[in-house]
Amino acid sequence: MSSIDAVIARSRRPGEFSERKQFTVARARGIQKMRKFALADPNYYILKLIQAAIANDAHYIDIQVDRSDCTFAYIGGGLRQYELAQLFDFLFASKDRTDIGHVRELALGINAVLLFEPEAVIIESGDGTLRGTTRMVVHGSHDRVEIGTPQRALAGTYISIQGMKRDKSYPERPVECG
């Protein structure tokens, strides 16, 4: 089985944590404002995920999307535990910081997808070792995040977005008159 096949197979049978930490999303007001206005259309979250993967040196990407779920997997780069633990802090990072561009794009995409009030967003990324693999679960309805070490190692990255409410109405962007 090739590396991407293993990542895709894992995304279809996500496991549980072997250890975890919990925290709530900080700076909630700023993050929520960015959620509403960072992208012209919240459906562009998928473009941000693709940009994040490419900036993270992905050499193979697999995307499966249906009405309420999205599974996005790629091989390349990878995300470190501190990047996932501080994911929403990267929303405020400068675009000039190309060294963290992949995490900033991921943060923008994940933050936008939260407008769809998913049941859960699971991100797992690793270098093929258990020590180098991190699992993050965002419980959409509670803005609660769990992060830790999964039960098994993974070589690659997957993002599983479950239970999106795509039929929600979204706030209009402010119109600028000039």
pLDDT in tens, 2-59: 688 888 888 887 777 877 776 555 455 555 555 555 667 778 899 999 999 999 999 9
Over residues 59-88, the mean pLDDT reads 93
SS3 label, residue 124 = strand
96: which residues sit within 8 A by CB, 6+ positions away? Answer: none
Q: What is the pTM of this model?
A: 0.77
Strands 17-24 and 70-75: unpaired
* Residue keyed to tokens 């795509």: 166
